[in-house]
């Protein structure tokens, strides 16, 4: 590591930090990238269940609608480096991509690891100095305008100086990858304020679910509505996963941000499930009659096995107030139909940051210049990635935000 001040020091070698490092170095800046883990891009390596859903092909207006709380903040970053530019860039560093259902874009190899390796090799090739096992312990800005960054590397205490500083440490989701909220502390010490952080894209806990012993039972084509204090606040259709503690799966993760916020506001939250949204009650009644006609089915449990996976039956019979061994009658048929169309779950909580995909909240957007990613409070201080108060649905949106804000910030941090 050189003794003269760097043009920029970047703290955090995630997708945003590495992208910014390569971009700034490629434009001629001297760059030091500090990462406390043993290798860069730990979170990217496990993204998309290890397959690396790096972006989404949706046009910008649709894309911005997937971002909370204010997608318009990212317009300048996206206008500079969006999904088409990212795909082209990935091709230039040796990563071919493929598009899948819902516009999701993955590496053709289906390995997020390949994206991470290509990205960090590119940053180094551009001239960025990347130090791993480098835990930043202190940041200060001197009267001369230079930032001093103190860090421990392999037991040795070191200090580096720079004209500009970029914080790209990530949020609190997946702390095992190094996202432990360090950047929030650094930003606060430098004078910034935070929008309260909470887990997003996170599984939801349901009261009394543990006794059913669900082992990630996937249910397709389910409609779910979330009600807070009796008022419907969100609804979704798609795949639902029943777990030991509650519910997960794509539609639950997407709805989780609003559910978490409602719970934190001390509102009562219930989930209303329609297991057969494509069928009306009358159609379901006719379906039951067809199943019973000319068959040897006589008890409720046997009838339900025609309608749903066996592991769901104990839960369903409790919801419908039926006994599996009871004989089928007109009353039980009515209860089955009613419960198939309307099943209520009492939400009791949400899973911790260690099980969340992304962090909601973070550095207040009002304190950051969207055109540069520079602090409005501290000259020379920049932010990128999950540290900012922007988060999005699943489907590649969050990684695109990291790449775009990193690219913009890195370009602004050149010499």
Q: Would you say residue 123 lies in a domain?
A: yes
Return phi, psi of residue 329, to 5°: -145, 180
Chosen domain end from 350, 371, 391: 350
Q: How many residues does the chain have?
A: 415
Q: Would you say residue 67 lies in a domain?
A: yes
Chosen domain end from 304, 329, 350: 350
pLDDT, one tens digit per residue, over 357-407 is 999 999 999 999 999 999 999 999 999 999 999 999 999 999 999 999 999
341 and 385 co-located in one domain: no
pLDDT, one tens digit per residue, over 274-315 is 999 999 999 999 999 888 887 788 899 999 999 999 999 999
34 and 150 co-located in one domain: yes
329 and 390 co-located in one domain: no
Chosen domain end from 318, 350, 382: 350
169 and 220 co-located in one domain: no
Give the residue carrying structure tokens 């009002």: 366
Q: Which of 7, 45, 37 is nearest to 166 (CA)?
A: 7
Q: Where are the alpha helices (DSSP H) in 101-192?
A: 112-126, 182-189
Model confidence at 183: pLDDT above 60: yes
Model confidence at 219: pLDDT above 60: yes
Q: Residues near 357 by Cβ (< 8 Å), separated by ≥ 6?
A: 173, 174, 200, 201, 202, 253, 394, 398
The pLDDT score that the predictor gives to residue 3 is 63
Q: Would you say residue 25 lies in a domain?
A: yes
Q: Would you say residue 108 lies in a domain?
A: yes
The pLDDT score that the predictor gives to residue 296 is 80
Taking a C-beta distance cutoff of 8 angstroms, is the pair 342, 367 a contact? no
pLDDT, one tens digit per residue, over 341-364 is 999 999 999 999 999 999 999 999
105 and 245 co-located in one domain: no
> In the numeric block, which tokens belong to residue 254?
């997407």
The pLDDT score that the predictor gives to residue 56 is 98
87 and 228 co-located in one domain: no
Give the residue carrying structure tokens 């874009």: 105
Return phi, psi of residue 94, to 5°: 95, 15
258 and 180 co-located in one domain: no
The pLDDT score that the predictor gives to residue 292 is 87
pTM for this model (two decimals): 0.94
263 and 298 co-located in one domain: yes
Enclosing domain of residue 229? 203-350
Mean pLDDT along residues 135-141: 96
The pLDDT score that the predictor gives to residue 152 is 96
- pLDDT band for position 143 (cuts 50, 70, 90): confident
Neighbours of 319 (CB within 10 A): 18
- pLDDT band for position 186 (cuts 50, 70, 90): very high
42 and 10 co-located in one domain: yes
Q: Would you say residue 1 lies in a domain?
A: no
208 and 170 co-located in one domain: no
The structural domain count of the chain equals: 2
pLDDT, one tens digit per residue, over 43-70 is 999 999 999 999 999 999 999 999 999 9
Return the CATH number at 364: 3.50.50.60
The pLDDT score that the predictor gives to residue 415 is 56
220 and 261 co-located in one domain: yes
Share of the chain above pLDDT 90, in %: 92
Q: Would you say residue 394 lies in a domain?
A: yes
Q: Would you say residue 102 lies in a domain?
A: yes
> In the numeric block, which tokens belong to residue 395?
């489907």
pLDDT, one tens digit per residue, over 220-274 is 999 999 999 999 999 999 999 999 999 999 999 999 999 999 999 999 999 999 9
Question: Alpha-carbon distance 255 to 393, whole Å?
Answer: 9
Q: Which of 308, 233, 290, 267 is nearest to 320 (CA)?
A: 308
Taking a C-beta distance cutoff of 8 angstroms, is the pair 194, 364 a contact? yes
Model confidence at 414: pLDDT above 80: no
Q: Would you say residue 77 lies in a domain?
A: yes
Averaged confidence pLDDT in the chain: 95
> CA triplet 93, 31, 174: central angle to 5 degrees?
70
Q: Where are the alpha helices (DSSP H) in 54-141?
A: 60-65, 75-80, 83-92, 112-126
Cα dihedral across residues 55, 60, 62, 68: positive or negative: positive
286 and 328 co-located in one domain: yes
Task: Name the DSSP class of 213.
Answer: -
> In the numeric block, which tokens belong to residue 303?
């009838």
Where residue 96 falls (left for φ over 0; alpha for ψ -120 to 50; beta otherwise) is: beta
3-state secondary structure at position 373: coil
The pLDDT score that the predictor gives to residue 2 is 65
């Amino acid at each position: 590591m050189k003794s003269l001040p760097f043009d920029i020091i970047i703290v955090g070698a995630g997708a945003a930090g590495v992208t910014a490092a390569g971009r700034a170095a490629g434009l001629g800046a001297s760059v030091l990238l500090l990462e406390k883990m043993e290798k860069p891009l730990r979170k990217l390596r496990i993204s998309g269940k290890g397959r690396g859903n790096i972006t989404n092909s949706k046009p910008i207006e649709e894309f911005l609608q997937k971002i909370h709380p204010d997608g318009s903040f990212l317009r300048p970053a996206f206008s500079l480096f969006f999904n088409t530019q990212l795909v082209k860039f990935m091709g230039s560093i040796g990563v071919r991509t493929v598009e899948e259902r819902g516009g999701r874009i993955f590496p053709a190899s289906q390995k997020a690891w390949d994206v991470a390796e290509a990205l960090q090799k590119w940053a180094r090739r551009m001239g960025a100095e990347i130090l791993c096992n480098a835990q930043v312990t202190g940041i200060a800005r001197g009267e001369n305008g230079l930032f001093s960054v103190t860090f421990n590397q392999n037991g040795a205490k070191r200090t580096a100086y720079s004209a500009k500083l970029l914080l790209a440490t990530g949020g609190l989701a997946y702390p095992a990858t190094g996202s432990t909220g360090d950047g929030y502390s650094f930003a606060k010490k430098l004078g910034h304020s935070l929008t309260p952080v909470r887990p997003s894209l996170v599984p939801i806990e349901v009261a009394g679910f543990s006794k059913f012993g669900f082992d990630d039972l996937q249910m397709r084509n389910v409609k779910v509505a979330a009600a807070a204090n009796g008022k419907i606040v969100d609804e979704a259709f798609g795949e639902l996963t029943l777990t030991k503690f509650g519910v997960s799966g794509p539609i639950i993760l997407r709805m989780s941000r609003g559910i978490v916020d409602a719970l934190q506001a001390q509102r009562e939250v219930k989930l209303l499930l329609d297991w057969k949204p494509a069928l009306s009650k009358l159609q379901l009644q006719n379906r039951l009659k067809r199943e019973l006609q000319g068959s040897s089915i006589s008890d409720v449990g046997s009838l339900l096995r025609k309608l749903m996976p066996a592991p769901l039956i104990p839960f369903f019979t409790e919801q419908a107030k039926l006994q599996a061994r009871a004989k089928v009658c007109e009353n039980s048929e009515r209860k089955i139909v009613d419960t198939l169309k309307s099943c209520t779950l009492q939400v009791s909580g949400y899973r911790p940051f260690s099980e969340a995909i992304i962090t909601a909240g973070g550095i207040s957007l009002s304190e950051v210049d969207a055109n540069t990613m520079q602090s409005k409070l501290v000259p020379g201080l920049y932010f990128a990635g999950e540290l900012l108060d922007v988060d999005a649905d699943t489907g590649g949106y969050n990684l695109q935000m990291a790449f775009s804000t990193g690219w913009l910030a890195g370009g602004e941090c050149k010499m």
